[in-house]
Amino acid sequence: MTRLFGTNGIRGVVNKDMNSTLALQIGQAWGTYLKKTILRPKCAIGTDARLSNHMLKSAVTAGLLSTGCDVIDIGLVPTPTLQYAVKEKRFDTGVIITASHNPPQFNGIKGTAHDGTELTKDVEEAIEKIYFSQQAVLSEWKDVGSYSTWDGAIELYINGILSHIDITSIKKQQFHVVLDCGNGAGSFVAPILLKKLGCIVTELNCEPDGTFPGRHSEPIPENLTMLMKVVSENGASFGVGLDGDADRAIFIDEHGSYIWGDKSLSLVGKYITKKKKGGVTVTPVTTSTCFEDVIRQNKGSVIYTKVGSPIVARAMKENNAVFGGEENGGLIFPEFQYCRDSAMSLAKILEILATEKRPLSELIMEIPSYEILKTKIACPNEKKEQIMNLLVEEMKTHNEISDIDRTDGLKLYMKNGWVLMRPSGTEPIFRVYVEAKEKRRVEQITIFYKNLVESIIQRL
Amino acid sequence: MNQPISKHIFRAYDIRGLYNKDISPDVFYKIGLAAGTYVKHSMHGTQISVGSDIRQSSQSLVHAFIAGVTATGVHIYHTGTTSFGQTLFTGVALHADLITFVTASHLPPEWNGLKFYYGDGVGFPEENLMAIRDLVLHDSFELVPWNHIGQVTSVDAKSGYKHFFTSQFKFKKKLTIALDCGGASMTLSAPEIFTALGFQVIPVYCDPDPTFSKRPSDPKPKNLTTLVQTVKKNNSDLGVAFDGDGDRAVIVDNIGQILTADQTGIILGKYGLKKKKGTIIVNVECSKSVKEQLEPLGYSVKQIPVGHTFLTLEAKQTHALLGIESSGHFIIPEYFLFDDALVIPLKIAQILDRVKKPLHDLVMESPSYPTKKEEIECADNIKFEVIQQLKQKLSKEYTQANTMDGVRVDFEEGWVLIRASNTSPIIRLTTEADTTTILQDLSSQFMKITQEIIQQIKTKLRKDVK
């Protein structure tokens, strides 16, 4: 079946493949799905700061109402704010209009279940099935849903975060934080949160603006150069950059150096397992070994999953994990909620700094370092499965491999490193990730496996 | 759901249809695309204001409409769920290029629709509405790229509107008013404003009831029995009933008599206007007593075709002081050009506050003539031809014949109006006269003429077929 939902909801270019007709019909399909089990579903809807947010929100709202769902519009909010509101206010579903870190011409529709976690694949497929078969069931005039607005979501969310951290210790330190919201939805939350925590805040791009005039939305190093500069020039405690819908946070140390997501994930994981004297943690197979190193040091364990934050969140819930997240700055705090949360990540880093009373760069230095190389190889979608099968066959004869992990793609552990080969779910490419202690070793492994995959593609 | 859109939902003054049958969110999405395209290209505008009445289906329709308008790059002021007056007042105050309101007015709750007004409150003419219809039917929309998508501003339509009335009206006496909102959109404004102005409000169906379960939303006399009883029981100074969206008001006097629009209009003209000079416009269905009572005072009474769009348009062009529609739409341009019904009971109350006489006494000052309304069956395909031939014939016979809307012939002792219904296979014959005898004579005389012409056309049609 053709798919609408990708790894992170339905995405597209506005008024081209992401338009009101689609959004209206998605709303109707979604509402029809909810009505199968719930008499009068209550749906929360919110948006990020993109220019097409109202248009798509109105279309989805019309669709949900017309199938007999009540809609509660919570306005412009970060994705985790909506997710928290859905969980706390017991809504039956949450809809967020966002294209996360994509360029401004994109927008999308993402959903959450009643507990605030992202929709499972089963639910997405059920909605898609109704959409493609045009089996939406519209309510009679008297059963059309009711629409209302509620502007308490941000306050509820900020208070929720504050109740989960040590405010007193943080306030005492009077941290100076440089905050770069990338003109995204985080602008509505992060500045308020930091001020409530007694921080001195230098704001960059904290005006919500759907054209993203300040920087590109994805918090990768080349988009955070200004943030790095401002942190080092102002002697700030650290810097933080958010993505468009503020579910991910990337940190900059007090010298202005970019901290990779693996490292901040590991730092927080270390702190939590240390405090809890162990515990289960969850992360995708793509995460650096440094995470497992620090978790094991603190008597914790790591469960590896397929790539995708909803999958990580589900595994955390099933295994009663104490912490989890991805290497892209998406951290999940189960005591608060089962989804990526930049504001909670920010609050947690502040708490760690307040407890440890040492600069961020020093804490990061203590996390083991690995060399990582990520490459991609062009590969037609229809050949991907065959390539994977041939790769698995081939590996049986390689004796340098100590372990094989088939969680997502093919991950091979060997002396001093690992390689992960996985076909992309969305693009016609094959990804090859390699990690080892030394740079030369990484290059060596990469060349070998890249050649191997290419030769297989050639052969087919 | 991709069934073709019926062109019949586009009527002379508005869009109307049965929810999920003729109109749906999909249809309103397209109407939004068309309205946005029209505002951009034909009006060189940038902003549409929209609100919706209290009907249960209005919310799904208004959101679909907004999705369509914004996709064309036109911005939205969204006034939310309001009475007709609240949305119109706010749209005018914000200088929107086009003001729209989701409603089916007085129709039953399973209906819905859309009304269009210009930014100054003047009704949208039929030909412009038909231009929007054609855009819908031909899928002729202009979508804009991501960086030009229209933005939505939610605006509070309630406080500015309330402030307007509380600053415009002051009352010395504490009048008692029985307020019948029929559970419809006026529940959102009228009770609060009358209370704020110091009235003793006796509520009748003043709790919001989106399915109109308490009384039908058409304020016809037979639907107003509770109001009449309430007025009598509480010795109210006056009573008022509104329709579903709040653009029509029916006044009940202190003894429980339901006033016709003509009677209300005469009182407004006699006691409610500052100047005794200027134009009062009435549609061709209005009673001759309006002219008889008001012209001697110094006004000139001008007849216009039926339809509240003409009422607003004419009021603007002629700088009229008052406009009266026989169906219960009124306009008093010293306040607004649009037909907000809230002004009417307030104005009547203001008169009572000043003249110190019971409303029934004011009603009795003017004579009320017997009237008769008859319906003649006539197929849709010939009804307009019948009217056309009647116009020719009667214009020759009677120099005073008025053919601006159907044909109306005025005599010393009465008048006759013959019009085709816009919606049903019917020709309507309305007569008013000084006495019932004359009424019967006029009615049967013109009934006969009409029937003859219908027969002639039918016979000719049959011959043509052969």
Note the pLDDT of residue B1: 44
C-alpha B144/C-alpha B27 separation (Å) is 20
Q: In this complex, which of A28, A104, A141 lies closest to B110 when CB atoms are compared?
A: A141
Interface of B with A (CB under 8 A): 1, 19-20, 24-26, 28-29, 55-57, 59-61, 63-64, 66-68, 70-71, 76, 109-110, 112, 143-147, 149-152, 154, 211
In the predicted model, residues of chain B with pLDDT beneath 50 are 1
Q: Could B143 and A61 be called an inter-chain contact, meaning their C-beta atoms sit closer than 8 Å?
A: no
Q: Could B19 and A141 be called an inter-chain contact, meaning their C-beta atoms sit closer than 8 Å?
A: yes
> For A10-26, what is each residue's pLDDT tens digit?
999 999 999 999 999 99
Three-state SS for A432? strand
Task: Please give, rounded to a whole number of angstroms, the shortest distance from the CA of A12 to a CA of chain B.
Answer: 11
Q: Please report residues of B whose CB lies closer than 8 A to that of A133.
A: none
Contact in structure between A232 and A200 (CB atoms under 8 Å):
no
Range B371-465 has CATH code 3.10.20.30: no
Which of the residues B49, B105, B236, B326 is marked catalytic? B105
C-alpha B329/C-alpha B308 separation (Å) is 7
Contact in structure between B357 and B293 (CB atoms under 8 Å):
no
C-alpha B362/C-alpha B331 separation (Å) is 20
Q: Please report residues of A whose CB lies closer than 8 A to that of B109.
A: 141-142
Among A174-178, A377-381, B171-175, B385-389, the range scoring the smallest mean pLDDT is A377-381
C-alpha B3/C-alpha B27 separation (Å) is 10
Q: In this complex, which of B59, B76, B154 lies closest to A65 when CB atoms are compared?
A: B59
User: Which numeric CATH code is attached to A261-365?
Assistant: 3.40.120.10
Please provide the DSSP assignment of A206-267 as one string.
-S--TT--SS-SS--GGG-HHHHHHHHHHT-SEEEEE-TTSS-EEEE-TTSPBPPHHHHHHH
Q: In this complex, which of A20, A56, A144 lies closest to B59 when CB atoms are compared?
A: A144
Q: By CA distance, what is A18's nearest residue in B? A: B146
Q: How many residues does chain A have?
A: 460
Q: Which CATH architecture has domain A10-151?
A: 3-Layer(aba) Sandwich (3.40)
User: Which numeric CATH code is attached to B7-157?
Assistant: 3.40.120.10
Q: Please report residues of B whose CB lies closer than 8 A to that of A151.
A: none
Note the pLDDT of residue A395: 83
Q: Please tell me if residue A20 touches chain B, with a CB cutoff of 8 Å.
A: yes
Task: Please give, rounded to a whole number of angstroms, the shortest distance from the CA of B22 to a CA of chain A.
Answer: 12
> For B37-79, what is each residue's pLDDT tens digit?
999 999 999 999 999 999 999 999 999 999 999 999 999 999 9
Domain range A157-252, its CATH number among 3.40.120.10, 3.40.190.10, 2.40.30.210, 3.40.47.10: 3.40.120.10
Q: Could A145 and B109 be called an inter-chain contact, meaning their C-beta atoms sit closer than 8 Å?
A: no
Exposed, middle or buried, B428 (CB in 10 Å: 0-12/13-18/19+)?
A: middle
Q: Could B145 and A19 be called an inter-chain contact, meaning their C-beta atoms sit closer than 8 Å?
A: no
> For A250-263, what is each residue's pLDDT tens digit?
999 999 999 999 99
C-alpha A361/C-alpha B321 separation (Å) is 78
Task: Please give, rounded to a whole number of angstroms, the shortest distance from the CA of B143 to a CA of chain A.
Answer: 7
- Known catalytic residues of A are 100
C-alpha B416/C-alpha A106 separation (Å) is 64
Q: Look up the CATH superfamily of A371-459.
A: Alpha-D-phosphohexomutase, C-terminal domain (3.30.310.50)
Residue ranges of A 115-174 with Cβ closer than 8 A to chain B: 134, 136, 138, 140-147, 149
> Could you tell me the residue ranges of all domains in chain A?
10-151, 157-252, 261-365, 371-459
Task: Please give, rounded to a whole number of angstroms, the shortest distance from the CA of A21 to a CA of chain B.
Answer: 8
Q: Could A138 and B20 be called an inter-chain contact, meaning their C-beta atoms sit closer than 8 Å?
A: yes
Q: Could B146 and A143 be called an inter-chain contact, meaning their C-beta atoms sit closer than 8 Å?
A: no
Q: How many CB pairs under 8 A join A and B?
A: 117
Q: Could A138 and B145 be called an inter-chain contact, meaning their C-beta atoms sit closer than 8 Å?
A: no
Q: In this complex, which of B25, B71, B152 lies closest to A62 when CB atoms are compared?
A: B25
Structure tokens at B318: 């002629």
Contact in structure between A249 and A329 (CB atoms under 8 Å):
yes
Note the pLDDT of residue B402: 93
Q: Could B71 and A24 be called an inter-chain contact, meaning their C-beta atoms sit closer than 8 Å?
A: no
Q: Please report residues of A whose CB lies closer than 8 A to that of B29.
A: 20-21, 24, 59, 62
> Rounded to a whole number, what is the distance in angstroms from the first to the last CA of chain A?
25
Phi, psi of B377 (to 5 degrees): -65, 135
Q: Residue with structure tokens 């000719």? A: B460
> For A281-304, what is each residue's pLDDT tens digit?
999 999 999 999 999 999 999 999
pTM of the model: 0.92
Active site residue B105: yes
Q: Please report residues of B whose CB lies closer than 8 A to that of A13.
A: 146
**pLDDT at A1 > cutoff 90:** no
Note the pLDDT of residue A425: 73
A178-199 mean pLDDT: 97
Contact in structure between A51 and B146 (CB atoms under 8 Å):
yes
Task: Please give, rounded to a whole number of angstroms, the shortest distance from the CA of B147 to a CA of chain A.
Answer: 7
ipTM of the complex: 0.90
Q: By CA distance, what is B1's nearest residue in A? A: A134
A422-433 mean pLDDT: 86
* Same fold across B7-157 and B160-364: yes
Q: Is beta strand B98-102 parallel, antiparallel or unpaired with respect to B200-204?
A: unpaired
Residue ranges of A 349-388 with Cβ closer than 8 A to chain B: none
Structure tokens at B287: 């009673």
Q: By CA distance, what is A137's nearest residue in B? A: B1
Give Cβ neighbours of residue B8 (< 8 Å, ≥ 6 apart): B17, B22
Measuring CA to CA, which residue among B321, B348, B169 is closest to residue B251? B348
> Could you tell me the residue ranges of all domains in chain B?
7-157, 160-364, 371-465
Range B160-364 has CATH code 3.30.420.10: no
Mutate to test the interface with A, among B16, B27, B47, B63 (most CBs of A within 10 A): B63
Q: Please report residues of B whose CB lies closer than 8 A to that of A23.
A: 67
Note the pLDDT of residue A2: 62
> For B111-134, what is each residue's pLDDT tens digit?
999 999 999 999 999 999 999 999
C-alpha B201/C-alpha B85 separation (Å) is 20
* Same fold across A157-252 and A261-365: yes
Q: Please report residues of A whose CB lies closer than 8 A to that of B59.
A: 65, 71, 144-147
The fraction of chain A above a pLDDT of 70, given in percent, is 99
Q: Could A54 and B76 be called an inter-chain contact, meaning their C-beta atoms sit closer than 8 Å?
A: yes
Q: In this complex, which of A20, A144, A149 lies closest to B71 when CB atoms are compared?
A: A20
Q: Please report residues of B whose CB lies closer than 8 A to that of A105.
A: 145-147
Q: Could A142 and B71 be called an inter-chain contact, meaning their C-beta atoms sit closer than 8 Å?
A: no
Q: Please report residues of A whose CB lies closer than 8 A to that of B149.
A: 14-15, 51-52, 54-55
Spell out the alpha helix ranges (H) of A36-103.
53-66, 79-88
Q: Could B146 and A13 be called an inter-chain contact, meaning their C-beta atoms sit closer than 8 Å?
A: yes
Structure tokens at B376: 């003649």
Q: How far is CA A15 from CA A20, A107, B36, B143, in A?
A: 7, 10, 15, 7
Q: By CA distance, what is B77's nearest residue in A? A: A54
Phi, psi of A379 (to 5 degrees): -160, 125
Q: Please tell me if residue A23 touches chain B, with a CB cutoff of 8 Å.
A: yes
Q: In this complex, which of B1, B25, B152 lies closest to A54 when CB atoms are compared?
A: B152
